[in-house]
């Protein structure tokens, strides 16, 4: 059963750097309509139904560019700087977590300096013949502190929902992962699609189909960092047989431009984000895993100019599937395979345990 809880104020990730004016959630619906129009989705002129729209997720087709153009930029040329600065001295005290309870209930927890509050208790039971569609991801919006939840996987691409201050859920878009900062929102679907949208500029949205997207993060300068080309995400997709690579995307005068860095042969990563020192941070995939599973403890840095990948001396003490970074780019937040929420400083290597108990995702 769904409870009507109030989300504490001030949960937004605070990003510095280049900003565009925030847009209300209503305008985000327009963005999604633009992004899926080429897929033939019928959308009402106004008052979009919550069951629409739907990202394509079946037959592989050539990469689709919607509403703008994408330009490939040679390595080292015209790449805006990733956000960089001095590391923060103190980690955030507020974070949010997603719990998959054993009784088919999904719980959303807001933890404020060690004081947890349950803001959603959602019963996911659907009957003995149909498995429950569980929430698997959680993200805090930079622009207004809205909580975004990703559910997998009906439709196959997943579905993204926002949690209102009154505890109600609202469908927003197809997809499973999302991040926003610097005036840009990015969405990755469970089937490896990628959508990037400048806030308030839906006509400049860029949608890429079947590119094997696994992880995405947006830095305070609005640069989208994406892990792409992973054929374990969608076997048989456009990504099949291609090397995994990191793509940096940004808004140019003509649309989205991007620069790709192919990862070393044999190297695989589970998650990608940015760091305070202006590099890209990768969570290394364990070499013993096969198929779609992806966990790891090692961390590597990618130089956004040269593309060089260097393994860090110290990784995570416990295996995790993904990492998130705070607004300063200093502190990682991650959930272990044992359901613990932990943090690690990218500056001095300090680590700590925040909470334990059936967590599957967290953000701050």
Structural domain boundaries in the chain: 25-363
Q: Closest by alpha carbon to 31, among 162, 140, 184?
A: 184
Highest average pLDDT, of 49-63, 259-273, 285-299, comes from 259-273
pLDDT higher than threshold 60 for residue 75? no
Contact status, residue 92 vs residue 140, Cβ threshold 8 Å: no
Whole-angstrom Cα distance, residue 141 to residue 100? 22
> What local confidence, expressed as pLDDT, does residue 8 receive?
36
Mean pLDDT of 237-251: 76
Whole-angstrom Cα distance, residue 210 to residue 208? 7
Superfamily of domain 25-363: TolB, C-terminal domain (2.120.10.30)
Whole-structure pTM value: 0.79
Share of the chain above pLDDT 90, in %: 56
Q: In the sheet where 206-208 sits, what is the strand order?
A: 177-181, 184-188, 194-198, 206-208
**β-bridge mates for residue 301, sequence order:** 281, 310
**β-bridge mates for residue 205, sequence order:** none
Residue pLDDT, tens place only, 8-53 = 333 344 444 443 333 333 333 333 333 333 232 222 222 222 222 3
Mean pLDDT of 285-308: 84
> What local confidence, expressed as pLDDT, does residue 260 receive?
94
Q: Closest by alpha carbon to 333, among 354, 357, 356, 311?
A: 354
Q: Closest by alpha carbon to 189, among 219, 153, 225?
A: 153
Is residue 26 within a helix (H) or strand (E), and if so which, with residue range? helix 25-36
pLDDT higher than threshold 70 for residue 112? yes
Q: Closest by alpha carbon to 176, among 135, 224, 226, 208?
A: 135
pLDDT averaged over the chain? 78
Q: Which two tokens stand for residue 271?
A: 């998650």
Q: Closest by alpha carbon to 225, among 154, 303, 153?
A: 303
**Distance, C-alpha 325 to centroid of its chain:** 11
Q: Which range among 49-63, 82-96, 120-134, 193-207 shows the weakest confidence by mean pLDDT?
A: 49-63
> What local confidence, expressed as pLDDT, does residue 5 receive?
33
């Amino acid at each position: 059963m769904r409870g009507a809880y109030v989300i504490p104020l001030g949960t937004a990730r605070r990003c510095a750097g280049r900003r565009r004016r925030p847009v209300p959630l209503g305008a985000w619906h327009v963005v999604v309509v633009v992004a899926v129009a080429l897929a033939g989705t019928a959308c009402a002129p106004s008052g979009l139904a919550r069951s629409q729209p739907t990202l394509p997720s079946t037959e592989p087709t050539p990469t689709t560019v919607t509403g703008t153009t994408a330009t490939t930029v040679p390595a080292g040329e015209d790449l805006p700087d990733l956000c960089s600065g001095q590391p923060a001295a103190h980690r955030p005290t507020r974070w949010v977590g997603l719990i998959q309870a054993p009784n088919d209930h999904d719980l959303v927890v807001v933890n404020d300096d060690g004081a947890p509050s349950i803001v959603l208790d959602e019963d996911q039971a659907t009957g003995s013949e149909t498995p429950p569609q569980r929430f698997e991801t959680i993200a805090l919006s930079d622009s207004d502190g809205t909580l975004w939840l990703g559910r997998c996987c009906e439709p196959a691409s997943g579905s993204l929902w926002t949690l209102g201050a009154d505890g109600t859920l609202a469908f927003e878009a197809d997809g499973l992962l999302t991040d926003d900062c610097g005036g840009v929102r990015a969405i990755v679907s469970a089937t490896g699609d990628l959508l990037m949208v400048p806030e308030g500029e839906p006509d400049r949205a860029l949608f890429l189909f079947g590119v094997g997207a696994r992880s995405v993060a947006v830095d305070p300068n609005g640069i989208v960092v994406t892990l792409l080309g992973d054929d374990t995400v969608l076997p048989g997709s456009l990504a099949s047989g291609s090397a995994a690579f990191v793509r940096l995307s940004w808004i140019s005068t003509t649309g989205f431009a991007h620069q790709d860095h192919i990862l070393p042969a044999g190297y695989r990563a589970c998650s990608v984000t940015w760091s305070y020192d202006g590099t890209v941070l990768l969570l290394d995939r364990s070499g013993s895993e096969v198929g779609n599973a992806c966990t790891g403890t090692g961390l590597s840095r990618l130089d956004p100019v040269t593309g060089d990948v260097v393994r860090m001396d110290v990784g995570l003490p416990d295996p995790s599937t993904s990492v998130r970074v705070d607004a300063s780019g200093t502190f990682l937040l991650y959930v272990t395979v044992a359901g613990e929420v932990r943090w690690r400083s990218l500056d001095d290597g300090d680590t700590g345990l925040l909470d334990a108990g059936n967590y599957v995702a967290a953000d701050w």
